[in-house]
């Protein structure tokens, strides 16, 4: 399969920076294209069931970058851990995808963020292809402005180059000292000091996802989740439990080495014309 080439696990190696990449379960794009620039890197290793480490030049030296692939709800499991940045991915074909990203973004600390909108076509065609894509790209840009994050688009049927995420990794690396200082200043008993960088929100709230439980990609239907998701009926089919890789209710972003097909997100009925 696609990921079998990367079966070697890098052990006993602490990454220089850790990034969480969040995706919404069931979005109508191939995970291969989102992960492709990482997996095609010449120095890429599996570091866990759903995480990879790649070695790339950040500044004058090679650094180890760990990318943890998670659903938005699954990222709740990392709220107590040191994380240096987030890559938040959404589909421009589903209102629920961006709505979930927006809700998630309200509860993460002051860290570097890269927002990526996955479109059906590239360039100006992505913006003008249809009204929904136009709306969701515009709103995604506004979210990036609010978060002081970077915004970019990626075409669902075209794999980006290996260096696609490198500018973001470089920014994270440059901000690593202040990120780690803020993280450690949150530890109980640490005396307040002067001249430190502003602290992110309390860690117990930083990664807490309010849309659902801590278990993978489960989403609520009906009144509990409706207010935080899009209000229209056209996306009502997107709030059910989606299990992409198997029928055992595992996290929808957990890699499986057995089959290439298990890297692809499930297509939602009505998501494609």
pLDDT confidence band for 74 (50 / 70 / 90): very high
Closest by alpha carbon to 254, among 32, 4, 70?
70
Element (H, E) at 181: helix 166-185
Q: What is the DSSP string of 150-164?
A: EEEEEETTSPPPGGG
Which CATH number fits the domain 15-182+197-258, given the four candidates 3.40.50.300, 3.40.640.10, 1.20.140.10, 3.40.1370.10?
A: 3.40.50.300
Q: What is the pLDDT of residues 163-210, one digit of tens each?
A: 899 999 999 999 999 999 998 887 655 555 444 444 444 433 443 333
Q: What is the pLDDT of residues 219-270, one digit of tens each?
A: 333 333 333 333 333 443 333 323 333 334 444 554 444 333 333 333 333 3
SS (H, E, C) 34-102: HHHHHHCCCCEEEEECCEEEEEEEECCEEEEEEEEEEECCHHHHHCCCCCCEEEEEEECCCHHHHHHHH
67-88 average pLDDT score: 93
Q: Which residues pair with 52 in a beta bridge?
A: 46, 67
CA distance 234 to 88: 23
Percent pLDDT > 90 in the chain is 38
How high is the pLDDT of residue 249? 40
Q: In the chain, what are the domain boundaries?
A: 15-182+197-258
143-168 average pLDDT score: 88
How high is the pLDDT of residue 89? 97
pLDDT confidence band for 60 (50 / 70 / 90): confident
Three-class secondary structure of residue 256 per DSSP: coil
- Distance, CA of 76 to chain centre: 12
Res 51 pLDDT > 50:
yes
Global pTM? 0.67
Closest by alpha carbon to 67, among 259, 256, 253?
253
């Amino acid at each position: 399969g696609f990921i079998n080439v990367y079966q070697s696990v890098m052990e006993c190696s602490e990454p220089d920076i850790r990034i969480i990449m969040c995706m919404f379960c069931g979005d109508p794009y191939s995970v291969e294209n989102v992960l492709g620039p990482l997996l095609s890197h010449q120095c890429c290793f599996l570091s866990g069931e759903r995480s990879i480490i790649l070695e790339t030049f950040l500044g004058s030296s090679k650094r180890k970058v760990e990318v943890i692939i998670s659903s938005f709800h699954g990222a709740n499991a990392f709220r107590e851990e040191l994380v240096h940045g987030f890559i938040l991915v959404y589909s421009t074909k589903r209102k629920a995808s961006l709505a979930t990203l927006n809700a998630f973004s309200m509860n993460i600390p002051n860290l570097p963020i890269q927002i990526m909108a996955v479109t059906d076509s590239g360039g100006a065609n992505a913006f003008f292809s249809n009204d929904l894509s136009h709306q969701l790209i515009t709103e995604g840009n506004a979210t990036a402005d609010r978060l002081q994050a970077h915004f970019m688009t990626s075409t669902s049927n075209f794999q980006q180059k290996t260096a696609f995420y490198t500018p973001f990794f470089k920014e994270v690396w440059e901000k690593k000292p202040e990120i780690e200082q803020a993280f450690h200043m949150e530890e109980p008993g640490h005396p307040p000091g002067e001249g430190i960088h502003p602290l992110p929100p309390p860690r117990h709230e930083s990664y807490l996802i309010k849309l659902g439980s801590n278990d993978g990609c489960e989403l609520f239907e009906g009144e509990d989740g409706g207010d935080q998701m899009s209000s229209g009926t056209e996306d009502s089919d997107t709030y059910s439990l989606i299990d992409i890789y198997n029928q055992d209710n595992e996290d929808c972003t957990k890699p499986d080495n057995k089959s290439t097909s298990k890297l692809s997100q499930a297509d939602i009925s009505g998501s494609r014309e």
